[in-house]
């Protein structure tokens, strides 16, 4: 069976299939209205008490970063309109408390179902979660205790809720397999930052697997193996031990500077999508944040985030990084990243259309709000502003002019802001590469976005699996582009960073060291592995490899 992975490794464990969540509620009329209302009130109280316990655990797990899932559950449970409707339903329809809870919750879910907004959809899952909790309390059904799973468990479930993840003990639950979900589902993002091995989108997993059977998760290739023979299991166990030893070995690199074998110091930084990843950033021992993709802030919201909302988030990240650089990229929406509440024009080639900086320069008010928030947050630490998809000098100048006018506005209003905030650009278009000598004179740093640079250089849609075989970070054209950008950065005396996925590629690292890349930014959990790898590269010894790769000798 195959699935989507969010981390690497081999995990062996014992299956435990989570029973289906659906609770059957019969249509039952109420004999005593007051008694039903009292039962409902007690179930709501019990649910709130349980949420408090979950919140406590959540706080421990997230070190207080990001919004708590339990907060939104509590919000619904304390919403007098929502719970009031349930009470009223009992009176109006003379039905049992169970039936009232189900009807009112399902009505609410139906309304939300017709809305495509991903934020609303998350709230829909919250209501379904709460409905089950209240029903369990009413019907005396035991909760599935995610916090009491035996050691060695591989949990198999149709779907998981973020609140389920928060309760699991990572030392006992060795991994999870889900039938649904995608790498960007909230519970998967949480699993990633907790370090929980997970295979998602495994079709009919819950039907195909039995409690107590031993399975192997091969996360390197995204497979789950059942019915292994004793000999096969021995081989898997050896690979699992090797993987665990490797993880232990990587931990030794915490606190070490990032230095090549022949003493060249580089910076290894983290890519993040929001403050909820700060824990992982700390555990990965990142030396800064090389890319904060702010579009997730916009995508996880039901309306454009206000200046103050953004300011709070940026300030939190900057303060948490305690003087280390935090590179915040301005909104990069468009292409494959949509904002449902914002009317993006329909285009036949969205990756070549009004995307990223192009959109921001069109909708100046949208851009100004973000720039104000960024500049204000810059007075709390080491914040760097980065513009995405810059195609040439004129575009960079336009963005910088707007930034200057926003600074002037803040100055006039007497609002504190970072006066000397460094401004850099993503180099992710071939045109930017070819004029990188000129661009370097007008900005403070470059960050090479290989994810897009590869797609635009080779002409291969990064989201299309049919042409994925052409999407090659080792293509000499891509390597030459990287080389040009680094050379031009250094000629102008500015640092060159890379924040595309290629920055963590084992095969590419010796070449990047040779070219003299200054900063590598990647998923936080890749940093220690890359630090170890870099320590073994001797720049002087990679010349031949560099020549071969660039010229395909
Ligand atoms: C890139 O293009 O390499 C990059 C880091 O940005 P994104 O993946 O968000 O487009
Ligand atoms: Mg990009």
Q: What is the pLDDT of residue 62?
A: 57
Q: Which ligand is nearest to the CA of 522?
A: 1
- Phi/psi at 10 (5° precision): -120, 130
Between the CA of 170 and the centroid of ligand 2 the distance, in Å, is: 33
Q: In angstroms, rounded to a whole number, what is the distance separating the alpha carbons of residues 266 and 354?
A: 35
Residue nearest to atom 5 of ligand 1 (CA): 500
Residue 374: count of CB within 10 angstroms of its CB = 26
Residue (of 292, 279, 284, 226) closest to 447 by Cα position:
292
225 as an active site residue: the answer is no
Judged by DSSP in three states, 457 sits in: helix
- Which segments of the chain belong to CATH 1.10.274.10? 33-139
Q: Is 172 exposed, middle or buried (0-12, 13-18, 19+ CB in 10 A)?
A: middle
> Shortest CA distance to 172 belongs to which of 57, 1, 16, 279?
16
Q: What are phi and psi of 380, to 5 degrees?
A: -105, 5
- The atom number, within ligand 1, closest to the CA of 388 reads 6
CATH 3.50.30.10 domain residues, the chain: 4-20+145-243
* Catalytic site residue from 186, 360, 443, 497: 186
Distance 56 CA to ligand 1 centre (A): 36
Query: 270 forms bridges with which residues in the sheet?
Result: 289, 522
Residue-level pLDDT at 186: 66
Give residues whose Cβ lies within 5 Å of ion ligand 2. Answer: 428, 449, 452
The CATH class that applies to domain 33-139 reads mainly alpha
**Pocket lining for ligand 1, CB < 6 angstroms:** 291, 293, 332, 428, 449-452, 499-500
Active-site pick, 176, 360, 497, 499: 499
* Closest atom of ligand 1 to CA, residue 335: 10
Ligand 1 atom with the smallest distance to the CA of 291 is 5
Contact between 137 and 46 (Cβ < 8 Å): yes
Question: What CA–CA distances, in Å, run from 325 to 221, 291, 319, 343, 447?
Answer: 34, 10, 10, 34, 13
Pocket probe for ligand 1: among 430, 452, 522, the residue whose CB has the most ligand atoms within 8 Å is 452
Q: Residue 175 belongs to what H/E stretch?
A: strand 173-178
Task: Check residue 339 and give its pLDDT.
Answer: 83
For each of the chain's 553 residues, which pLDDT tens digit applies?
Answer: 888 887 788 999 999 999 877 788 888 888 899 999 999 999 999 999 988 887 877 676 655 555 566 777 888 888 889 999 999 999 999 999 999 999 999 998 888 777 766 667 667 878 888 999 999 999 988 878 898 999 999 999 988 877 788 788 889 999 999 988 766 566 776 787 677 899 988 988 988 999 999 999 999 888 999 999 999 999 999 999 998 898 889 999 999 999 999 999 999 999 998 898 898 899 999 999 999 999 888 887 788 999 999 999 999 999 999 999 999 999 999 887 778 788 887 898 989 999 999 999 999 999 999 999 999 999 999 999 999 999 999 999 999 999 999 999 999 999 999 999 999 999 999 999 999 999 999 999 999 999 999 999 999 988 776 787 898 999 999 999 999 999 999 999 999 999 998 999 889 999 999 999 999 999 898 899 999 999 999 988 898 899 999 986 5
The residue whose CA is least distant from atom 7 of ligand 1 is 451
Distance 449 CA to ligand 2 centre (A): 5
**Cα 450 to averaged position of ligand 1 atoms, centre (Å):** 7
Predicted pLDDT of residue 282: 94
Architecture, CATH, for domain 4-20+145-243: 3-Layer(bba) Sandwich (3.50)
Residue having the nearest C-alpha atom to atom 6 of ligand 1: 449
Any idea which fold 267-551 has? Answer: TIM Barrel (3.20.20)
CA distance 453 to 258: 26
Question: Strand pairing partners for 522?
Answer: 270
Q: Which ligand is nearest to the CA of 498?
A: 1
Task: Count Cβ atoms within 10 A of the Cβ of residue 263 and give its class: 0-12 exposed, 13-18 middle, 19 or more buried.
Answer: exposed
* 31 three-class SS: coil
Q: Using CA atoms, how far apart are residues 417 and 390, in angstroms rounded to an integer?
A: 25
| 207 catalytic per annotation | no
Q: How far apart are CA 422 and CA 37, in angstroms?
A: 61
- Nearest residue by C-alpha to atom 8 in ligand 1: 451
Atom of ligand 1 nearest to the CA of 499: 5
For residue 428, how far is its CA from the centre of ligand 1 (angstroms)? 8
d(CA 412, CA 421): 18
**Domain limits, CATH 3.20.20.60, in the chain:** 267-551
- Give 389 Cα–ligand 1 centroid separation in angstroms: 9
User: Cα of 391 to ligand 1 centre, how many Å?
Assistant: 15
Name the phi and psi angles at 315, rounded to 5: -65, -45
Which residue out of 272, 332, 454, 520 has the highest number of ligand 1 atoms within 8 Å of its CB and is therefore the one to mutate?
332
């Amino acid at each position: 069976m195959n699935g989507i992975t969010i981390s690497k490794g081999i995990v062996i464990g014992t299956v435990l299939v989570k029973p289906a969540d659906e609770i059957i509620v019969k249509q039952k009329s109420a004999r005593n209205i007051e008694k039903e209302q009292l039962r409902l009130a007690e179930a709501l109280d019990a649910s709130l008490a349980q949420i408090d316990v979950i919140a406590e655990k959540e706080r421990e797990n997230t070190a207080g970063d990001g919004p708590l899932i339990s907060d939104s559950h509590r919000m619904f449970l304390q919403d007098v309109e929502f719970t009031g409707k349930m009470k009223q339903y009992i009176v109006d329809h003379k039905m049992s408390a169970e039936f009232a809870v189900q009807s009112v919750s399902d009505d609410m879910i139906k309304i939300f179902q017709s809305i495509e907004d991903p934020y609303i959809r998350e709230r829909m899952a919250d209501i379904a979660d709460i409905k089950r909790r209240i029903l369990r309390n009413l019907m005396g059904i035991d909760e599935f205790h995610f916090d009491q799973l035996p050691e060695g468990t591989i949990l198999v479930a149709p779907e998981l809720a973020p609140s389920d993840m928060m309760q699991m003990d990572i030392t006992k639950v060795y991994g999870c397999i889900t039938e649904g979900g995608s790498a960007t589902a909230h519970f998967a993002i949480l699993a990633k930052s907790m370090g929980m091995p997970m295979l998602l989108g495994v079709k009919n997993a819950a039907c195909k697997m039995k409690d107590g059977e031993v399975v192997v998760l091969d996360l390197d290739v995204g497979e789950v193996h059942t019915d292994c023979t004793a000999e096969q299991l021995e081989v898997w166990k050896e690979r699992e031990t090797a993987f665990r030893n490797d993880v232990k070995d990587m931990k030794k690199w915490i606190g070490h500077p990032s230095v090549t074998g022949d003493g060249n110091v580089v910076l290894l930084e983290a890519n993040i999508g929001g403050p909820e990843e700060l824990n992982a950033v700390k555990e990965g021992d990142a030396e800064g944040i090389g890319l904060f993709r702010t579009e997730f802030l916009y995508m996880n919201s039901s309306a454009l985030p206000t200046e103050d909302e953004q300011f709070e988030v940026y300030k939190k990240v900057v303060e948490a990084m305690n003087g280390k650089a935090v590179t915040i990229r301005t909104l990069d929406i468009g292409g494959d990243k949509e904002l449902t509440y914002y009317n993006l024009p329909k285009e036949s080639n969205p990756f070549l259309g009004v995307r990223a900086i192009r959109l921001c320069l069109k909708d100046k008010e949208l851009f100004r709000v973000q720039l104000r928030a960024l500049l204000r947050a810059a007075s709390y630490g080491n914040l760097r502003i980065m513009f995405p998809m810059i195609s040439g000098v004129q575009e960079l100048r336009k963005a910088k002019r707007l930034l200057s006018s926003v600074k002037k506005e803040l100055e006039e209003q007497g609002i504190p802001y970072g006066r000397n905030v460094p401004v850099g650009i993503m180099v992710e278009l071939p045109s930017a590469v070819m004029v990188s000598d000129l661009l370097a004179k007008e900005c403070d740093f470059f960050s090479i976005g290989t994810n897009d640079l590869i797609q635009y250089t080779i002409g291969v849609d990064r989201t299309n699996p049919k042409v994925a075989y052409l999407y090659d970070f080792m293509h000499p054209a891509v390597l030459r582009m990287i080389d040009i950008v680094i050379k031009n950065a250094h000629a102008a005396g500015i640092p060159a960073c890379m924040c595309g996925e290629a920055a963590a590629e084992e095969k590419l690292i010796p070449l990047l060291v040779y070219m003299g890349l200054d900063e590598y930014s990647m998923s936080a959990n890749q940093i220690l592995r890359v630090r170890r790898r870099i320590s073994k590269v001797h720049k002087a010894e990679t010349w031949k490899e560099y020549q071969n790769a660039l010229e395909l000798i």
